[in-house]
Amino acid sequence: MSAANNVKEHDSSTTIRADIERLDARVIEAARRLPAASLHEAGGKIGALPMALKPVAQNFRICGSAFTVHSPGGDNLWLHRAIDLAQPGDVLVVYASGVYEHGYWGEIMTTAAKVKGLNGLVIDGCVRDADLLEQIGFPVFSRGLSIRGTGKDYGAIGWLNAPVMIGNVVVSPGDLIVGDRDGIVAVPRARAADVVEKAAKRETDEAAICKRIEAGETTMQIYSFH
């Protein structure tokens, strides 16, 4: 018997949580119209994911409930499992154990995720097939691009829908994820409706301030700076 046949497979069911509480569709629809920066500010400057995470294509925008993935480094089997179990509208949020330089995601997985109706991918690691990802139109935010392949170790332990830490932000399943060219924000699910409402008001207030500036006032006057 070969050494490979002696490898004990991890029982993936013990670290998979399939049922999570997701955001109300009305909250997601309202958040979709708001910039990530406004949501970050409205929440009290919370939830800003690392600036290293960028959209693969400039026009990509992401919004939905977080489906979290803790993947072993250099392995993408748990991402395949996530695509299979996630629901339409979910955003996959992946922590790759701090191992960045692998192409964890590409054309085939993008196609599968789009067909499943997912709302995007945020991965603290790299992806590949950038031109095809842009062509397919499924929003992907990553640390960069890498052609280095991944493995599929059935004995490696990973988690689906456990909290993950991206940078200094803990993302829990069901949190609101919004990303655009400026960055990505994660808003705790319990606060999402309130933060979205405050962000919408912030956008209205800032539009009014811009009109005052266009009418001749200065920022020093408007904000009483000195």
Give how far the C-alpha of residue 224 lies from the chain's centroid of Cα atoms, to the nearest Å: 38
Q: Can you say whether residue 64 is alpha, beta or left, with left for phi > 0 and alpha for psi between -120 and 50 degrees?
A: left
Model pLDDT, residue 1:
39
The verdict on residue 59 lying in a domain is yes
Q: Is 106 annotated as a binding residue?
A: yes
What CATH number is attached to the domain comprising 155?
Answer: 3.50.30.40
In a structure prediction context, what are the per-residue pLDDT tens digits for the chain, which is 226 residues long?
Answer: 344 455 568 887 789 998 999 999 999 999 999 999 999 999 999 999 999 999 999 999 999 999 999 999 999 999 999 999 999 999 999 999 999 999 999 999 999 999 999 999 999 999 999 999 999 999 999 999 999 999 999 999 999 999 999 999 999 999 999 999 999 999 999 999 999 999 999 999 999 999 999 999 999 999 999 8
Q: Is 166 annotated as a binding residue?
A: no
Q: Is 62 annotated as a binding residue?
A: no
The verdict on residue 1 lying in a domain is no
The verdict on residue 179 lying in a domain is yes
pLDDT digits (tens, 9 = 90+) for 27-71: 999 999 999 999 999 999 999 999 999 999 999 999 999 999 999
Model pLDDT, residue 6:
56
Structural domain boundaries enclosing 212? 8-222
Helix, strand, coil share (%) of the chain residues, nearest 5: 35, 25, 40
Model pLDDT, residue 13:
79
The verdict on residue 197 lying in a domain is yes
**90 and 64 Cβ atoms separated by less than 8 Å:** yes
The verdict on residue 68 lying in a domain is yes
The verdict on residue 162 lying in a domain is yes
Q: Is 203 annotated as a binding residue?
A: no
Number of structural domains, the chain? 1
The verdict on residue 3 lying in a domain is no
Q: Is 90 annotated as a binding residue?
A: no
The verdict on residue 78 lying in a domain is yes
Q: Is 108 annotated as a binding residue?
A: yes
